[in-house]
Amino acid sequence: MRDLNEQQISDCVDRRFKLEQNLALDLLAEFDNESNGLIGPLRQMAGKALEDLLSENIPIQDFATALESLAARRGGVWSAMGDEKLLSIWQQNGWQGGITNRHKPNVALQQLQGKAQRLTASQCSDIIRLYGAVAEKWGAAPGLTGGQLDTLKKQYRPGGKMVWGAHARVRAKPAQGAIPGEHKQWQMPAAVHGIDFKQAGKGQVKEMLPDQRRSINVTVFSTVKKVDNAFGLPLGADISGTTADSMFFVERFARCCRIKYDPIYQLLALATLVAARHHALLEVALTMTLNKIITYSIGFYSTLLPPGSTHTARAAIDGVFKEHERHDWNEHILAYFDQHHRRVGGYLFEGGEIDRFKKLATTGPDFMWLFTTMPPFPTKGRIRMMMGSKGLL
């Protein structure tokens, strides 16, 4: 174990940001590689989802609700497309302003469906996000039995308030300066910047109080942000709800398309969301861990490979993870703060300590419960207490 000062920790954080961005970009390249057998099934799933959206294909209980359901279904699709108007799939079709009255939503969907067999992995991910937004709209429509999709989708967000918090999720753009300028060159260009915010950097969530009809600013310091501070992880947002939507989508449409399900397809969210900087790697990996697809240990990227995968691309994906795990920039650290919330020092773990550090860094429900009681800016005493529990002192 080696003591680190604040500047050394800052340098570690910056290197990890670049390392995890590169990991995501390399992973994305494997998903787009035609010879790996990943992109074809994903295109099938995306094409079937577009077909469903075009036909508003959800169940209707009886004829009496048919007309009401038809209007609600169509309205849900159109409303969701408006909410997700900055998705790159619209921009790449020449609709820089997104879906407007001049571009009928069904025309846009038909054009996308016509290109289904040429979609990239990132475009498939955009369609997953759109489908998730539509399912939420259907779930909110009164008398619409398609709301069962939204109910099923929500089951991929386990952990309750300890993970997802008591407050509604907010799609927002990062605050000005939330992503350091020197980091922007490492992120993949993307039209969408909407991410799941609670507190990222110094941002605040503006909430509407329904009983008082007024808005207030509420600072919600998430469990994920506490983990970021303790482990010296890059600036991010919060646990990824979009990843949960992606898991629901892949399982549902693998069945619909009669594609043999393999958990390796669930890494699509990791590749696309991190590469485009919608989420940090931990925020995606936590959702996957809580859904028992993986058990991620922070900084040990080989644990991102789903152990149940038998896909032919398994070796290529594993190679990406191991290459970055062995990289010089992958430094295993813990950081601590003073009473003024200033990061003042930390520790670097090497050699024979690595196995014990890996146990400390293994995420899951118990790990999340531990950090619910952690102060937002962990003190040296709290960090050393945590280290002692794993024999690191």
pLDDT band at 141 (very low <50, low <70, confident <90, very high): low
Domain count, the chain: 2
Judge whether residue 230 has pLDDT over 80. Answer: yes
DSSP state of 362: B
- Among 154, 176, 202, the domain boundary falls at 154
> Per-residue confidence at 232, pLDDT binned at 50, 70, 90?
very high
Residue 290 lies in a domain: yes
Does 145 score more than 60 pLDDT? Answer: no
What confidence category does residue 77 fall into, taking pLDDT thresholds of 50, 70 and 90? low
Among residues 95, 124, 154, which one ends one of the domains?
A: 154
Same domain flag for 336 and 388: yes
> Has residue 163 been placed in a domain?
no
At 216, is the secondary structure helix, strand, or coil?
Answer: strand
pLDDT, greater one: 61 or 216 = 61
d(CA 183, CA 17): 8
What's the pLDDT tens digit per position in 167-183?
444 444 444 444 455 44
% of residues, the chain, pLDDT over 90? 48
Most confident region among 78-82, 204-208, 296-300 by mean pLDDT: 296-300
Residue type, 67: L
> What is the predicted pLDDT for the residue at 64?
41
Structural domain for 89, as ranges: 37-154
236 and 373, same domain (yes or no)? yes
- Kindly state whether residues 107 and 123 are assigned to the same domain: yes
- Helix boundaries (H) for 296-353: 314-325
What is the C-alpha to C-alpha distance for residues 116 and 124, in angstroms, rounded to an integer? 9
Q: Which residue has the higher pLDDT, 35 or 190?
A: 35
Q: Are residues 123 and 205 in the same domain?
A: no
What pLDDT sits at residue 162? 55
The CA distance from 275 to 277, in Å, is 5
Domain presence at residue 54: yes
Percent over 70 (pLDDT), the chain:
66
Q: In this structure, are 150 and 192 located in the same domain?
A: no
In degrees, to the nearest 5, what angle opens at C-alpha 27 toward C-alphas 226 and 187? 60
Q: What tokens does 238 get?
A: 């919060």
More confident position, 85 or 224:
224
In a domain, 159, yes or no: no
pLDDT, tens only, 10-43 = 999 999 999 999 999 999 999 999 999 999 999 9
Contact call for residues 22 and 324 (beta carbons, < 8 A): yes
For residues 360 and 102, the model is more confident at 360
Is the domain of 142 the same as that of 278? no
Same domain (yes/no): 42, 188: no
Least confident of 6-10, 36-40, 130-134: 130-134
**Average pLDDT of every residue of the chain:** 78
Query: 338 CB contacts (<8 Å, ≥6 apart)?
Result: 344, 379
Cα–Cα distance measured from residue 165 to residue 353, given in angstroms and rounded to the nearest whole number: 34
Structure confidence at residue 68 (pLDDT):
45
The single-letter DSSP state of residue 169 is P
**275 found inside a domain:** yes
- Residue-wise pLDDT for 287-344, tens only, equals 999 989 999 999 999 999 999 999 999 999 999 999 999 999 999 999 999 999 999 9
Is 303 a domain residue?
Answer: yes
Burial of 341 (0-12, 13-18, 19+ CB in 10 A): exposed
- Per-residue pLDDT reduced to its tens digit, 236-289: 778 888 888 899 899 999 999 999 999 999 999 999 999 888 889 999 999 999
Say if residue 114 is in the same domain as residue 181: no
pLDDT interval class at 387 (50, 70, 90): very high
Distance CA 315, CA 317 (A): 6
334/226 same-domain check:
yes
What pLDDT is stored for residue 107 in this prediction? Answer: 72
For 11, 31, 259, 314, the CA distances from 120, given in Å and listed in that order, are 34, 8, 18, 19
The confidence score (pLDDT) of residue 209 equals 35
| SS3 state at 240 | coil
Show which of 154, 181, 206 is a domain's final residue.
154
Residue 162 lies in a domain: no
Element (H, E) at 195: strand 195-197
Is residue 202 domain-shared with residue 321, that is, in the same domain?
A: yes
Same domain for 336 and 294: yes
User: How much is the pLDDT for 378?
Assistant: 94
If DSSP codes are grouped into helix, strand and coil, which group holds residue 297? Answer: strand
Query: Is-contact 24 274, C-beta < 8 A?
Result: yes
Whether 309 and 333 share a structural domain: yes
The H or E element spanning position 345 is strand 343-349
Q: pTM above the 0.85 mark? A: no
Report if residue 224 sits inside a domain. Answer: yes
